[in-house]
Amino acid sequence: MKINAVLLIFTLIFFSCQESEKVPVVKIRTKFGVIKMILHDETPVHKANFLKLINEGKLDSLLFHRTIQGFMIQGGDPDSKKAKAGQALGDGDVGYTLPAEFNEHLYHQRGAVGAARDDNPEKRSSGIQFYIVQGRKITDDELTTNMKNLRKGILELSQKPGYDSLEMQLQQLRKSAGYIAYRKRLMELKPLIEKELQIDLKIEVSEEKIASYTRFGGTPHLDNDYTVFGQVVDGMEVVDRIAALPTDSLDRPLEDMRFFVEITEMDKTEIEQLFGYHFIQNEKK
């Protein structure tokens, strides 16, 4: 009986320690409310860098300088801190980049936090600029379509007689009707592109991604091109409000959306219970 009592005590202590494991929770404060996110252990370089930026105050008082309804909101350009109205933003940085950290379980579902980057071949991330996926629900057909090759096919077809205005029409639609209408039109053009260019745009997608993207939404065409290093666990209604702001021709909100960032700590179990989020190490998706 004494041995069993000792084992019981050690078991309780063990599970107590497991449940009390704390992780940093990033809070982004805006005038619309607070966005809370966790950072992934599976992307250690990006996680450490983001926490360092916050602790140094380098993210405070910057703007969400690029917002697209149905797609994402982007911030972190250091030049946005004192930017004038109408000033083009998006090129500011901190003088270094980060190596890509891709993970099959980290993709661009709704609420994913990703690192912005330029068009470098190594897909290295900006040292400071980031985005939060708002996204939209994706159909099975779009999920299993190689959207990158579809866009390339449209550009190629636009060089041929009779289709020379195709790309211009798409860009005008994007400006006049918005991102969601633009993506819908891309899919409508898929049969034409496959027929005219004699190509097959179908790709294989995991059941995990299909379930997530069709149920919750996201932006799957960014997968394996941009590093996802965090996930919003609370405050997506704030992201939705920011994404809905009127913007100029460069997708910069006409109303400055400034933010301030801080770090708190929470128990992993508390995060799971309060927000319904499951850490990868606890439950592989």
Q: 285: burial class by Cβ within 10 Å (0-12, 13-18, 19+)? A: middle
- Tokens representing 257? 């959306």
Cβ-based burial of 257 (10 A; exposed 0-12, middle 13-18, buried ≥19): buried
Name the amino acid, one letter, at 189: L
- What are the pLDDT digits (tens) for 175-214? 999 999 999 999 999 999 999 999 999 999 999 999 999 9
Domain extents in the chain: 23-137+205-275, 145-197
The chain-wide mean pLDDT, for the chain, equals 92
H or E, element range at 150: helix 147-157
Percent of the chain surpassing pLDDT 70: 91
Tell me the angle at which helices 147-157 and 166-177 cross, rounded to the nearest 10 degrees: 120
Per-residue pLDDT reduced to its tens digit, 36-55: 999 999 999 999 999 999 99
For the record, the structure tokens of 97 come out as 């980049």
23-137+205-275: CATH architecture: Beta Barrel (2.40)
Structure tokens at 228: 């996802």
